């Protein structure tokens, strides 16, 4: 990635994360942090479970939609930020300069898209529409991938080929591959939400109630 793009990524992602932290803090009781942390750990572990895609390849969950569905927008952003930071700081995954862009793609773009679509397709007060969850999951993966592809393309163009990947290659490659991966994310996310709504509906209401308390 071109240094300018990396800088831009940090410059966009940090204020949004800070804003989410700020909003979350406004009605924070001491229960919330351990509760969100255990969910973040759950998503972290769920990301390690591979699902089959085709011809022996596998994909894995990002979990942004799941985090938003369970915790609301601010909680979702903070949970994804925590997961990405731990992957970077503890397991040395991806490198530090990539963290800014990873945050932008997976902790900002993906939760925002997921939240928007969940919000649009919601019916009633405490019910997610059956179609909304898979749609939001699929679209959030695609949006994160396209955002990443655009960053690679911008890096390539800005640096004249020292960084990034050529636009003609990066955008379609990221888009098509993740449109397929996104189906897996959609299947698993809606499976998890369905499962939870059947066996423990009270867990799903946490995020919705938290959002409504703020609104």
Partner 1 sequence: MELNADRFAKDSWLSAFDPRVKLLCFLSLAVVIALLTGTEVLLLALAFVLSLAAVSRVPPSHLARGYAMAFPFIAAASLALLFTSGTGNALNMGLRVSASVLLLLVLVSSTPFMDVLWALRWFKLPSVLSDMIMFTYRFIFVILDESGRMRLARSSRGFRGGRSLLDGEAFKVLSNTIGMIFLRSYRRADRVYLALLSRGYDGRVRSLGGHRLRFRDAGMGLAFLIIGALALTQQMGWYVWW
Our CB check for partner 1 shows the closer of 45 and 213 to be 45
Out of 112, 190, 207, 211, the only residue in the binding site for partner 1 (CB under 8 A) is: 190
Output 60 or 122, the one with its CB closest to partner 1.
60
For partner 1, which is the closer residue by CB, 93 or 212? 93
For residues 181 and 48, the answer to whether their CB atoms sit within 8 Å is no
B/e letters for 147-181, b = 16+ CB within 10 Å, e = fewer, are bbbbbbbbbbebeeeebbbebeebbeebeeebeeb
Q: Which residues pair with 50 in a beta bridge?
A: 60
Phi, then psi, of 59 in degrees rounded to 5: -130, 175
**Contact call for residue 15 and partner 1 (CB under 8 A):** no
Radius of gyration of the chain (CA): 17
Residues 110-169 within binding reach of partner 1 (CB under 8 A): 156, 161-163, 165-166, 169
Min dist. Cβ of residue 75 to partner 1 (A): 10
The residue written with tokens 């969850």 in the block is 133
Of the residues 15, 27, 93, 201, which one makes contact with partner 1 according to CB under 8 A = 93
Write down the least CB distance from residue 193 to partner 1, Å.
8
Query: Segment contacting partner 1 (CB under 8 A): 86-94, 108-116, 117-125, 134-142?
Result: 86-94
Angstrom distance (rounded) from CA 171 to CA 194:
33
Near partner 1 by CB under 8 A: residue from 12, 14, 41, 158 = 41
CB 102 within 8 A of CB 144: no
Candidates 103-111, 117-125, 143-151, 199-207; binding stretch for partner 1 (CB under 8 A): 199-207
Tokens of 125: 């007060």
Instruction: Mark the segment that binds partner 1 (CB under 8 A) among 113-121, 123-131, 136-144, 186-194.
Output: 186-194
CA-CA-CA-CA dihedral for 38, 30, 197, 115, to nearest 10: -90
Q: Which residue lies nearer to partner 1 by CB, 90 or 215? A: 90
| Candidate residues 46, 150, 158, 179; the one interacting with partner 1 per rule CB under 8 A | 46
As a whole number of angstroms, the distance between CA 165 and CA 155 comes to 7
| Binding window for partner 1 (CB under 8 A); candidates: 92-100, 104-112, 115-123, 132-140 | 92-100
């Amino acid at each position: 990635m071109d240094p300018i793009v990396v800088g831009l990524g940090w410059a966009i992602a940090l204020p949004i994360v800070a804003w989410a932290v700020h909003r979350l803090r406004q009605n924070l009781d001491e229960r919330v942090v351990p509760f969100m942390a255990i969910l973040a750990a759950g998503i972290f572990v769920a990301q390690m479970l591979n699902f089959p895609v085709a011809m022996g390849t596998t994909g894995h969950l990002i979990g942004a939609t799941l985090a938003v569905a369970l915790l609301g927008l601010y909680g979702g952003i903070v949970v994804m930020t925590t997961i990405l930071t731990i992957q970077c700081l503890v397991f040395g995954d991806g490198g530090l300069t990539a963290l800014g862009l990873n945050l932008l793609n997976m902790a900002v773009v993906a939760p925002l898209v997921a939240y928007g679509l969940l919000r649009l397709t919601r019916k009633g007060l405490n019910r997610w529409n059956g179609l909304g969850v898979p749609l939001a999951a699929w679209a959030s993966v695609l949006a994160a991938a396209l955002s990443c592809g655009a960053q690679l393309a911008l890096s390539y163009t800005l640096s004249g080929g020292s960084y990034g990947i050529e636009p003609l290659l990066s955008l379609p490659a990221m888009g098509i591959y993740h449109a397929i991966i996104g189906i897996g994310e959609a299947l698993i996310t809606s499976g998890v939400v369905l499962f939870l709504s059947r066996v423990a509906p009270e867990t799903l209401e946490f995020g919705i109630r938290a959002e409504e308390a703020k609104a």
